[in-house]
Copies of this chain bind each other. A is one copy, B any other.
């Protein structure tokens, strides 16, 4: 170029290509970093749930969470990704682009958007597995291992991608204006509905509800639980921030602020209300309040003002102690509070889109949001209930009374979580 005396359009286009490539690199890089952050949420769930169960069931919950990520990623590769993203504008209820990955361009270029096909797969794959992790906490301490893993495999292969496609795969809910930015409904309440189906069919842990009232069964390690919540918040920067699907500075930085302040407000809401209700500074409520705030803001993190994000988080935090108490009154035994966090606050966050969101006309209307919540809830709960029911019929899903008393660690895994003598 140094020899040229005149600049031709071709020369300018080459330079433009270099600038566009730089933008593509930054966009793709952020999606990959976000993938890593979402990945570590699996450790967050594992430690949170391990901390909140009894000492005798810790190996079991760790085992399940380790297997869920692995099964989730593999099934999402073989089936889920193509079921969830069947192609451009299918508009309908169902679509499927085939087994395995078949990138249009070898998966390598920007033809696919501001990131490569492989980046898209691995980012979405990390999401897919999280919905099962939500279930594992709720059904902990009494479910049989193999039926649970079979459920997860079917759930992440079939149910999660189909309802996901309705919105993110350009399906019918997307067409009618339903909005769910990063998955208050598509990921969190979906996991919550499956959890609810599971705990209804399983029944409560032995001794939890009796004529004497509700017996508290405290988690065995609050440090593990706190580690879990901090790691989930940490990962949520990738979960919500990555859902911008580019490194667009305006959007991603707004999402960081709304997400953080909703989480913080969730802690405050749960702190105040749980103090009023229980007259103590309840750590597990505050931890779940943070998670509730995060779940609540997930549907609208890219399209609300900062004050709105604080209100959304605050309300979610307030909902936590109320919801935990409600489920206990209904004798629905959820050792980690997953239904309160993911189902209740997931629904709240999806409704909040209609109240606080700025998405333009016809997008995120209250009607569309309610239809989305109901349709996805009905499908997911029915699917989950049917699968758990069949598994119960064929194999049984609950461990024996003796195994439950002795603990799943020794009975199913031949190993104690701790050797402290």
The answer to whether A306 has its CB under 8 Å from any CB of chain B is yes
A136 an interface residue at 8 Å Cβ cutoff? no
Nearest CB of chain B from residue A120's CB, rounded to whole Å: 8
Residues of B within 8 A of A416 (CB): 218, 222
A400 interface hit (Cβ, 8 Å): no
Q: Determine how close the nearest CB of chain B comes to the CB of A26; give it in whole angstroms.
A: 4
Residues on B with C-beta less than 8 A from A229 are: 66
Closest to A281 in B: B413
B9 pairs with A7, CB closer than 8 A: yes
Report yes or no: B256 in contact with A42, Cβ–Cβ below 8 A. no
Contact check, B241 vs A32: say whether CB atoms are below 8 A apart: yes
Number of copies: 3
Given A223-B62, A286-B63, A18 and B16 contact (CB-CB distance below 8 Å): yes
Question: What are the residues of chain B within 8 A of A63 when measuring CB–CB?
Answer: 281, 283, 286
Say yes or no: is A287 at the interface (Cβ < 8 Å to chain B).
yes
Determine how close the nearest CB of chain B comes to the CB of A285; give it in whole angstroms: 10
Task: Tell me the nearest residue of chain B to A234, going by C-beta.
Answer: B40
Q: Is the CB of B223 within 8 A of A254?
A: no
Q: Which residues of B contact A1 (CB under 8 A)?
A: 9, 12-13, 16
Interface residues in A49-85 (C-beta closer than 8 Å to B): 50, 54-55, 58-59, 62-63, 65-67, 69-71, 73-74, 77
Chain B residues whose C-beta falls within 8 Å of the C-beta of A11 in the assembled complex: 7, 9, 12
- What is the bound-complex CA distance between A418 and B28, given in angstroms? 43
Q: Are A249 and B25 in touch, CB under 8 angstroms?
A: yes
A306 lies within 8 A of B101 (CB): yes
Report the Cα distance A129→B247, complex, angstroms: 26
Q: Determine the residue in chain B with the shortest Cβ distance to A2.
A: B9
Complexed CA–CA distance, A176 and B11 (Å): 40
> By the criterion CB–CB under 8 Å, are B70 and A221 in contact?
no
What count of chain A residues pass the 8 Å CB interface test?
A: 125
Which stretch (A103-111, A179-187, A320-328, A361-369) binds chain B?
Answer: A103-111
Partner of A18 from B23, B77, B267 at Cβ < 8 Å: B23
Complex Cα distance A421/B74, Å? 38
- Are A280 and B412 touching (Cβ within 8 A)? yes
Select from chain B the residue with minimum beta-carbon distance to A263: B70
With both chains docked as a complex, state the minimum distance between the C-beta of A147 and any C-beta of chain B, in angstroms.
13
B contact residues around A59 at 8 Å (CB): 222, 283
The verdict on A90 contacting chain B, using a C-beta distance below 8 Å, is: no
Report if A419-B219 is in contact (Cβ < 8 Å); known contacts: A32-B241, A32-B256.
yes
Find out whether the CB atom of A116 lies under 8 angstroms from the CB atom of B249: yes
A350 contacts the other chain (CB 8 A)? no
Q: How far is the CB of A167 from chain B (nearest CB, A)?
A: 24
Task: Give complex CA distance A253, B115 in Å.
Answer: 9
Q: Which residues of B contact A267 (CB under 8 A)?
A: 66-67, 69-70
Q: Which residues of A contact B (CB under 8 A)?
A: 1-2, 4-9, 11-13, 15-16, 18-30, 32-33, 35-37, 39-40, 42-43, 46-47, 50, 54-55, 58-59, 62-63, 65-67, 69-71, 73-74, 77, 100-101, 106-110, 115-119, 121-122, 125, 145, 218-224, 226-227, 229-231, 233-234, 237-238, 241, 247-250, 252-254, 256-257, 260-261, 263-265, 267-268, 271, 278, 280-284, 286-287, 290, 306-307, 310, 412-421
Q: List 6 other contacts, CB 8 Å, given A40-B230, A62-B223.
A: A5-B9, A25-B247, A29-B30, A47-B223, A62-B226, A73-B261
The 9 tightest CB contacts between A and B, nearest first, are A108-B250, A22-B22, A43-B230, A118-B253, A70-B264, A70-B267, A28-B249, A18-B19, A19-B19
5 A-B pairs with CB atoms under 8 Å apart are A62-B223, A63-B283, A73-B261, A107-B250, A220-B420
